[in-house]
Amino acid sequence: MFWAHDQIMGLLLQDKSLIYTRRCILRLDPSVPEKHSEIVRFLEDQRDKIVSLWKDFLARAREVNKSSTESLLADAGDPDDLLCCLFESILKGSATDASLDRIVSRLRLPESSLADFLLEKSCLLMAINIVVKDNSDLFANGQEELLPWLYLQQITDHIIKKTGIVYERVVKHGGRAFCQVDEHGVIVYANPKMLQLAGREELLNQPLSALFDEQEQRMINESLAFHGEKSPKLMVLNLQRADGACVPVGTELAPIMISGCHHGGYAGMVDISGPMESTMQVMEQSPLGILKTNTHYEIIYANPRAHKMCGLSGNMKGIPVESLCPDRKNREILQSQMKKRFENGTASEYEIEITRRDNGQRVPVMIAAMPERNIRGQITGSLAILRSLELEYAAEKINYHIATCNDTRDLLQKFVDEIANVCPFDLVVISAYSKNLHHVRSLFCSPEQEQRFRWWVMPPDLKRWIEHRASDDIFDLENFLSRPEWKALKENPEIRKLLKAELYSIIRCPIWDREEDQSSRLVSAVTFFRRGKKAFTEEDKKRLKSLPLVKTILATLHLEEKRKLSFRFKLIKKIFAACEDMHKVANLITSELVGFYEWNNVSIFRIDERDSVYRFHLLSQKAKDDDPDYLLPPHYKQRYDQGVLSHVYLTGKPIFTGNVKEDRDIKDYYLQGFESESNSELCVPIMAYGKVFWLLNIEDPLENAFSSDEVEELQVVLGEIGVILEKAFQHHFLREILQLASDAIIVIDNGWKVRQVNPAVEKLLGYPEMEMINFSLEKIFVNQDDWQWLKRGGQISGQEIQLGHKDSTVVAVYVSTFELPQEVGGGSVLLARDLSQIKRLEELDYLGKLYYEIAIQTKTPLSLLFKWIKRLQGETSPADRQDTLSKALKQLRKLTLTYDRLVLYDKKEGLVPYQPLLADIEEILELLPGEFPDSEWQKVLVTKEPDLPLLRVDIFQLTFCLETIISYLLRAASQESQVTISVGYHDGTITIKLRGIVPELPSTAAEIGTQASAQLTETISDMALGDAVIRTFIENHEGATYKRERQGDVCEYYIEFKAEKERSLL
């Protein structure tokens, strides 16, 4: 365009007549406008010609540059075009701002340029110059010819001020760095801001790409080269300043095309370090990895977290992103995902494994990636956010191990291996604490060192350390131990080992039995060590504590509990299997306890209460590794009043001590029984049936060798063993009863087949034990009614039946049966007692009772007969003799009646059965005189109250009792003494009182030898024998009582009966 403008101006200036005009241009000052209406009028008249010439010149210019003149030709002849603006300027001295702004607005269109305007002005001036030259007579004054040119120049100055000068100032003095480059990318112009941004005094003749790194140079060169694209490329680049600093700049790059020709290009830059700084800070501090790549799949940015995830400490810029996945599988995934970004422009999220550069370890990551675009929507790169899945995968694997591992050591080994992959360490120790925090033991240690499976006492300073919550994480152990409150820990052997190994950095994770609160209990701890000071970071701490440490350790402790329960279960199972031999049971307990708890000696003592001196006898013992120095003599015995055994036996409570020589409660009665020294002792009673059955004694050379948890566990185990011992005792007891019982015992199943018998069965029925097994029970029942009753499920509480002997004889037995619970297989147990001996004994007893009753009931009549017959010798009166003989005959009839009753003898009721009737006591008393001689009855005085109520009595038994008592009293009475009978009634009771004189037996030898003494002795003896029968007869009556009292020579008998309420009952 500038070339076409200069060519037209040259044609104008070639005319010599215009030389003067050029000079006048330099002298005329159009700032004071003059009115030249006649010139304007002339030009208006020549308007068509001017426009025609103007278009012709523009058409000729179009041949040179078509694209720059099409818009101008379209606007030529417009009422508001440059020609109208010229007329207005000549008439008024200057064009109005409105007219000028219309031209400026047209110049601001994307398809117009300032060069187009200058060409348009030059073509118009040539057209006017030709018209003026053809009418030179009208322009006599040379200055008038120059007015159109002058005013067009004035308009041009105003247009340039509103456009070109503004643009120039913006480019040169604006806040945006700008530079122009030639076709080779060499800077031909750089504004001051560009120099300032680059930190250089001069940039001319320097390649623009030299200000950027190698990766960005290619992008710059590609953007400045012409590829047919009209729009510039926008991107963010990093400008390398002269001082070495890197400045992020928002850059606009585009080639310059003029008249279809490439004239280099330009670059506009803005320092975006300020706005980018906050974004960069966020990315730099992000806990997630962030990577940015260009369209060539090269990394252009990586934050620190991404460096660490990839195992690179240096600059990652320019590294192909595919190099992070050297294996084929993950590389193909990455390539597929990158294609989505740069070809499809889509974002995605996917899992992949990247390979660390430092150790070659594969790290699972989740990547969220999206394309980066410029303001025109063009893809300029990719942004990827990397989230490591190491912890998630590790936690998932640990949870899997928790669910599948059944062994404590196996679980902890896998747990530690998973942690080592995400957070390396030099040593890890997993400890368990007793409930009172007095003891600790090592559950696991890696690398494996000296393993301590036993509990060991925790020093007070170490206990205070683990309870001190602020010391969970120590980054400098030496500095920590220099504090006054922890100086004592330096002397602890375990701490000294750590210092010697330079394990100064510690992360300790305490494990509580539940959510940490006031009631929670510290049960364990996982402690990680690294060599060096401050070797652990806060990130390491977070990573460790984000893993399921608590869950794993609690699961481990649960497995330990299961191991203990399994030990107890197997021990009990073995004891059950060995309970036939109690010595074997004791050996089993000692060996199993030593094997599980690793104590040095476990002994069991039995108690022999028959031995008054040496009551405790060694029953079983076991030493760790069978060490003879920790074994007692084979037949060791201990006095009942010495040692710890005695104290536990007497109190029934366990004793355990950590130092037998220093414990003031133990040292006075402790007995040393081993060749080697023992320091700790634990003695626990094994109880059965509420008393000490055995004594379990444990000794160990370590001080404080037993934790409270072990004592508690052992008491539980021994409690279970005590229950088993009770059952074993019952088993032995029942077995001995079964073997030695004289009664036959037959166990029957639900099919009425014999399942088990004792030896007495063979003796009773003649069938050997083996022959009785599966024998049908029906075959031994003689009476099928008994069998059917039993078969229907009836239970016999005690019944006499008959069973068949093997030799076909019949055996009378007393049978009891009871059913066994169906839960244990059902069936019944039949107990059969042989009645042959019992019946013989019962028969002898029956005969004895029969003879006794005969003797008692005949004794009184015989005594009376003997007395009365002797009296007949001295009686002279026939009437008296007659009376005495008649009464004697009655006694003889009683004797006959007694022997007649032998035929009707009842085993239960005796010779005289009890037959109560309603009777009047007065009638019974009226019958008594007829049983005694008158001479005898004269000594009897009977008194009674009137209207006595009736009695329900056996008349024979009551009469027999009264006759017997009266006869005894009369036999002992002297001629002057008297026997009294009184009957009274009070409060529903009738009382019969018989009173007489019965002298006491003589005490001197002279008196004992007399006839009177012999008769008295005989009488008292008969009274004593008859007293038992009298008492039996009286007690047959419900509510009746019999009592005999003696005061000196006076003997009184009291018989009381309950009276009936009404006499009308008779």
* Residue 19 confidence (pLDDT) above 60: no
Q: In degrees rounded to 5, what are phi and psi of residue 680?
A: -110, 140
If residue 1020 lies in a helix (H) or strand (E), which one and from where to where?
helix 1011-1035
Q: Does residue 735 form part of some domain?
A: no
Peptide bond preceding 946 in cis form (omega within 30 of 0): no
Average pLDDT rounded to a whole number, residues 12-28: 40
Q: Which residue has the tokens 């379990």?
A: 696
Which of 805-819, 982-996, 1050-1064 has maximum average pLDDT? Answer: 982-996
- Shared domain for 843 and 824, answered yes or no, is no
Last residue of a domain, one of 881, 910, 939: 910
Q: What is the pLDDT of residue 518?
A: 63
Asked whether 238 and 247 are in contact (CB, 8 A), the reply is: yes
If residue 388 lies in a helix (H) or strand (E), which one and from where to where?
strand 379-388
Last residue of a domain, one of 882, 910, 938: 910
Q: Which residues contact 323 (CB under 8 A, 6 or more apart)?
A: none
Asked whether 346 and 369 are in contact (CB, 8 A), the reply is: no
Nearest to 863 by CA among 892, 886, 901, 883: 892
* Residue 181 confidence (pLDDT) above 90: yes
Query: Residues of the chain with pLDDT > 90: what percent?
Result: 15
Nearest to 436 by CA among 523, 564, 563, 553: 523
- Shared domain for 816 and 882, answered yes or no, is no
Higher pLDDT among residues 861 and 28, named by residue: 861
Higher pLDDT among residues 934 and 319, named by residue: 319
Asked whether 440 and 458 are in contact (CB, 8 A), the reply is: yes
Residue 961: give its domain's CATH number.
3.30.565.10
Q: What is the pLDDT of residue 1019?
A: 64
Q: Does residue 1002 form part of some domain?
A: yes
DSSP 763-779: HHH---HHHHTT-BGGG
Q: Does residue 430 form part of some domain?
A: yes
Nearest to 992 by CA among 922, 932, 933, 1047: 922
- Shared domain for 247 and 111, answered yes or no, is no
Is the pTM above the cut of 0.85? Answer: no
If residue 828 lies in a helix (H) or strand (E), which one and from where to where?
strand 828-834
Higher pLDDT among residues 65 and 259, named by residue: 259
pLDDT digits (tens, 9 = 90+) for 195-242: 999 999 999 999 999 999 887 888 888 888 876 666 788 888 889 988
Q: How far apart are the first and last CA of the chain?
A: 168
Average pLDDT rounded to a whole number, residues 797-824: 83
Burial class (CB in 10 A: 0-12, 13-18, 19+), 656: buried
pLDDT digits (tens, 9 = 90+) for 320-367: 999 999 999 999 999 999 888 888 888 989 999 999 888 888 889 999
Higher pLDDT among residues 750 and 10, named by residue: 750
Provide the greatest CA pair distance for the chain: 232
Nearest to 918 by CA among 1037, 806, 758, 770: 1037
Of 40-54, 181-195, 879-893, 964-978, where does mean pLDDT reach its minimum? Answer: 879-893
Last residue of a domain, one of 252, 273, 294: 273
Q: Does residue 736 form part of some domain?
A: no
Q: What is the pLDDT of residue 1025?
A: 55
According to DSSP, the residues that pair with 246 across neighbouring strands are 240
- Shared domain for 861 and 799, answered yes or no, is no
Q: What is the pLDDT of residue 32?
A: 41
Q: How many angstroms separate the CA atoms of 965 and 969, rounded?
A: 6
- Shared domain for 786 and 858, answered yes or no, is no
Confidence bin at 18 (pLDDT 50/70/90): very low
Burial class (CB in 10 A: 0-12, 13-18, 19+), 425: buried
Locate 174 and state its tokens: 């604006």
Confidence bin at 468 (pLDDT 50/70/90): low
Q: What is the pLDDT of residue 186?
A: 94
pLDDT digits (tens, 9 = 90+) for 248-275: 898 999 998 877 788 899 999 998 888 7
Asked whether 431 and 445 are in contact (CB, 8 A), the reply is: no
Q: What is the pLDDT of residue 621?
A: 92
Mean residue pLDDT of the chain comes to 80
* Residue 859 confidence (pLDDT) above 80: no
Locate 35 and state its tokens: 């009115």
Sheet holding 744-748, edge to edge: 754-757, 744-748, 828-834, 810-819, 799-804
Q: What is the pLDDT of residue 69?
A: 43
According to DSSP, the residues that pair with 831 across neighbouring strands are 745, 816
DSSP 577-602: HHTT-HHHHHHHHHHHHHHHH--SEE
Structural domain of residue 88, as residue ranges? 2-168
| b (16+ CB within 10 A) / e for 911-926 | bbeeeeeebebeebbe
- Shared domain for 80 and 153, answered yes or no, is yes
* Residue 535 confidence (pLDDT) above 50: yes
Cα→Cα distances 26→23, 130, 146, 580, Å? 5, 22, 11, 143
Q: What is the pLDDT of residue 12?
A: 41
- Shared domain for 888 and 936, answered yes or no, is no
Q: Side-chain half-sphere of 974: how many Cα atoms within 13 Å?
A: 8
- Shared domain for 827 and 852, answered yes or no, is no
| Helix intervals (H) in 320-368 | 328-339
Instruction: Determine if residue 77 is left, alpha or beta; phi over 0 gives left, psi from -120 to 50 gives alpha, anything else beta.
Output: left
Query: Residues of the chain with pLDDT > 70: what percent?
Result: 83
Nearest to 803 by CA among 774, 838, 770, 763: 763
Which of 845-859, 868-882, 1025-1039 has maximum average pLDDT? Answer: 1025-1039
Q: How many angstroms separate the CA atoms of 822 and 819, rounded?
A: 9
- Shared domain for 782 and 759, answered yes or no, is yes
Q: How many angstroms separate the CA atoms of 921 and 982, rounded?
A: 11
Residue 203: give its domain's CATH number.
3.30.450.20
Helix, strand, coil shares of the chain, percent, nearest 5, are: 50, 25, 30
Confidence bin at 1064 (pLDDT 50/70/90): very low
**Pairing, β 979-986 against β 940-944:** parallel
* Residue 811 confidence (pLDDT) above 80: yes
pLDDT digits (tens, 9 = 90+) for 898-953: 655 554 555 555 545 678 888 888 888 888 887 777 777 888 889 988 888 888 88
Q: Does residue 811 form part of some domain?
A: yes
Tell me the angle at which helices 114-134 and 2-14 cross, rounded to the nearest 10 degrees: 20
Q: Which residue has the tokens 């018998």?
A: 757
Q: Does residue 574 form part of some domain?
A: no
- Provide the 3-class DSSP secondary structure of residue 837: helix
Q: What is the pLDDT of residue 122?
A: 86
Q: How many angstroms separate the CA atoms of 404 and 409, rounded?
A: 13
Return the amino acid letter for 31: S
Instruction: Determine if residue 1039 is left, alpha or beta; phi over 0 gives left, psi from -120 to 50 gives alpha, anything else beta.
Output: left
pLDDT digits (tens, 9 = 90+) for 488-532: 777 778 888 888 889 989 998 888 887 656 677 888 999 999 999
* Residue 96 confidence (pLDDT) above 60: yes
Sheet holding 289-294, edge to edge: 299-302, 289-294, 379-388, 362-373, 348-355
- Shared domain for 824 and 871, answered yes or no, is no
pLDDT digits (tens, 9 = 90+) for 556-610: 999 988 988 898 889 888 888 888 888 899 999 999 999 888 888 999 999 888 8
Per-residue 3-state assignment (H helix, E strand, C coil) for 480-535: HHCCHHHHHHHHCHHHHHHHHCCCCEEEEEEEECCCCCCCCCEEEEEEEEECCCCC
- Shared domain for 585 and 724, answered yes or no, is yes
Asked whether 571 and 594 are in contact (CB, 8 A), the reply is: no
**Tally of domains within the chain:** 8
Q: What is the pLDDT of residue 784?
A: 83
Q: Which residues contact 728 (CB under 8 A, 6 or more apart)?
A: 575, 579, 582, 585
Q: Which residues contact 532 (CB under 8 A, 6 or more apart)?
A: 502, 504, 505
Q: Does residue 566 form part of some domain?
A: no
- Shared domain for 624 and 765, answered yes or no, is no
Q: Does residue 572 form part of some domain?
A: no
Per-residue 3-state assignment (H helix, E strand, C coil) for 202-225: CCCCCEHHHHCCHHHHHHHHHHHC
Q: In degrees rounded to 5, what are phi and psi of residue 1041?
A: -135, 155
Confidence bin at 27 (pLDDT 50/70/90): very low
Q: What is the pLDDT of residue 188?
A: 93
According to DSSP, the residues that pair with 656 across neighbouring strands are 682
Higher pLDDT among residues 813 and 880, named by residue: 813
According to DSSP, the residues that pair with 381 across neighbouring strands are 294, 372
Q: What is the pLDDT of residue 853?
A: 67
